[in-house]
Structure 1
Amino acid sequence: MPTALITGASSGIGREFADQLAAMGHDLVIVARRDDALQQVKAEIETAAGVSVEVLPADLADRTQLQRVADRASDADRPIDVLVNNAGFGLAKPFLDNPVEDEERLLDVLVRATLVLSHAAGTAMRERKGGRIINVSSVAGWMASGTYAAAKSWVTVFSESLAGQLAGTGVTVTAVCPGFVHTDFHSAGDIDRSSTPGFMWVPLKDVVSQGLAAAEQGKTICVPGTQYKVLTTLLRAAPRPLIRSRRIASTHRNQE
């Protein structure tokens, strides 16, 4: 039975990845900071799907704890077939209004953890000549809206680069780039999205199912939702001064 390791698996997009992968017959290794939340997810998924769920509590901003997850991702005796780098959070204030420690933590979780775990799992997958890496990025990565957007831009470009390096090895890399999704992401970051129109929200199940389908097909970039496919096409073609405009940046800060 294949095994998937998912970070940020206690809620939101990560939990939906866990549910859908379990329903497809994958055993799971679920990672998040809170052990009690992970134990609840474990009990619910094992009951519903009849798969094995391993709990691995870790704060991915902590280098020692991150290494423990990396060691699990590279364990040759207990191979990981699917890695989902999903853990992340947003900051409501502009860069200079946040404590620099908060900004560093954001980069540690969104960027460094994705790099370290992709290296660990990718190396093991390449040796076995098979596996899938799914990095949850964001439509925000095509915008100029703070550190979050910059981090997600890195995730997307990194995924494209790694996918090219692994071409022909049997290992695929997919960046899933959602727009607005109803999860606890915004409330956790104290981000007000009450004025966002309804048509801009993509159902959580659709984001994950489309991401998994894209990974299965070996696609490198997946943008769930027709509205965001159109938006990202426009953003890629738009002049950079327009992308840098304050109105565009503030409207689309922190997507997931």
Structure 2
Amino acid sequence: MFMYAKKTALITGASSGIGEAFAYSLAAKKCNLILVARNEPKLKALAKELSAQYNVRTTVIALDLSAAGAPQALHQEVQNHQLKVDLLINNAGFATYGYFEQVSGERQHEEIMLNVTALVDITHAFMPDLLRNRDGGIINVSSTAAFQPDPYMAVYGATKAFVLSFSEALWAENRKRGLKVLSLCPGATETAFFDVVGSSEASVGSRETPQKVVQNALKAFEKGRSHLISGRQNYWVAQVSRFFSRQATLGIVERTLRPQK
């Protein structure tokens, strides 16, 4: 069992969606929070509300984590506040959608920097804190997109496959060292994700609420699971590659995600 009260959780992408839902759920468990995102006004409003409602300490750090050096700046800022992180939630990320060559190369580079590079660098920076008392934790937000290549979301699917593989490797390395590591793999979720993508076509199955995803995630985390596919329908969607050849699976996914003309 993971005891949340009086611990400190750092949440990236905390200003909306799954990150915001994590913030509310953890504050209700009396966990202090470090909220990280680009949108400082939204973070400050959220921090003020959580502090008042749950009587927890909230710290706001506004950063664009896709920028070079941002993970190191984040770690330094946490040190400047004299805080120690017990639970790291790497939630920040976004997707691009469309024919690969037609999507901005700069935007796809930012996608890799945020979804992969920042996640790895932040995890590496905070690992000593997380290991110090043999009761730390990491939740890395991947996606059901991690379980097969994703035509028209080629970069996004590849980054989430990386997150799943990376997280499960850390789970195996650290499960006897007192560090819990969970790769959370939600499917379509009722967040601003599809506004950023720019298309609702990049969606498979029914959408869960962020609150339900977080509820499922924390249960799996507390049980010491290595990964969780949130939602029964999403679980079966992620199993398609077990029943069909890779080429057949790609055909199914391509037809599902193909842009409408």
Shared fold (TM-score, shorter chain, > 0.5):
yes
- Give the alignment partner of residue 163 of structure 2, picking from 155, 166, 170: 155
Tell me whether 218-227 or 91-100 shows the greater mean CA deviation: 91-100
Deviation string 1:105-157 (CA, Å, 9 cap, x unpaired) is 00000001110111122232223322010001000111211110010000000
Please give the residue correspondences for 1:1-256 in structure 2 after superposition, counting only pairs within 5 Å: 1-71=6-76, 77-145=82-150, 146-193=154-201, 200-245=206-251, 247-249=252-254, 251-252=256-257
Q: Shift of residue 183 of structure 1? A: 0.6
Q: Shift of residue 71 of structure 1? A: 3.4
Distance, in Å, in 1 between the alignment partners of 2:168 and 2:77 is 24
Q: Shift of residue 231 of structure 1? A: 2.0
Distance, in Å, in 1 between the alignment partners of 2:88 and 2:170 is 14
> In structure 1, the residue corresponding to 2:69 is in which secondary structure?
helix
Distance, in Å, in 2 between the alignment partners of 1:74 and 1:156 is 28
Q: What amino acid does structure 2 have at the position aligned with 1:7?
A: T
Deviation string 1:145-202 (CA, Å, 9 cap, x unpaired) is 11100100000000000111112110011001000111111012212249x68x6212
Q: Shift of residue 64 of structure 1? A: 2.6
Q: Shift of residue 203 of structure 1? A: 2.3
Distance, in Å, in 1 between the alignment partners of 2:7 and 2:132 is 16
Distance, in Å, in 1 between the alignment partners of 2:208 and 2:200 is 17
Distance, in Å, in 1 between the alignment partners of 2:55 and 2:176 is 34
Q: What amino acid does structure 2 have at the position aligned with 1:185?
A: F
Identity over the aligned pairs, expressed in percent?
A: 30
CA gap 1:244/1:252 in 2 versus in 1, 3 angstroms: same
* Structure 1 unaligned residues grouped into runs of 5+: none
Distance, in Å, in 1 between the alignment partners of 2:73 and 2:245 is 43
CA gap 1:185/1:27 in 2 versus in 1, 3 angstroms: same
**Under a length normalisation based on structure 2, what TM-score does the superposition of the two structures give?**
0.89
Deviation string 1:214-256 (CA, Å, 9 cap, x unpaired) is 11111111111111122223334431112222x4135259xxx
CA gap 1:46/1:77 in 2 versus in 1, 3 angstroms: closer
Distance, in Å, in 2 between the alignment partners of 1:239 and 1:73 is 47
Distance, in Å, in 1 between the alignment partners of 2:24 and 2:182 is 19
Q: What amino acid does structure 1 have at the position aligned with 2:237?
A: L
Indicate conservation of the 8 Å contact 1:91/1:191, yes or no. no
- Cα RMSD for the two superposed structures: 2.1
Q: Shift of residue 77 of structure 1? A: 5.0
Q: How many residues align?
A: 250
Indicate conservation of the 8 Å contact 1:58/1:65, yes or no. yes
Q: Shift of residue 75 of structure 1? A: 8.1
Q: Shift of residue 73 of structure 1? A: 6.0
**Under a length normalisation based on structure 1, what TM-score does the superposition of the two structures give?**
0.91
* Structure 2 unaligned residues grouped into runs of 5+: 1-5
Indicate conservation of the 8 Å contact 2:136/2:178, yes or no. yes
Q: Shift of residue 95 of structure 1? A: 1.7
Indicate conservation of the 8 Å contact 2:87/2:130, yes or no. no
> In structure 2, the residue corresponding to 1:30 is in which secondary structure?
strand
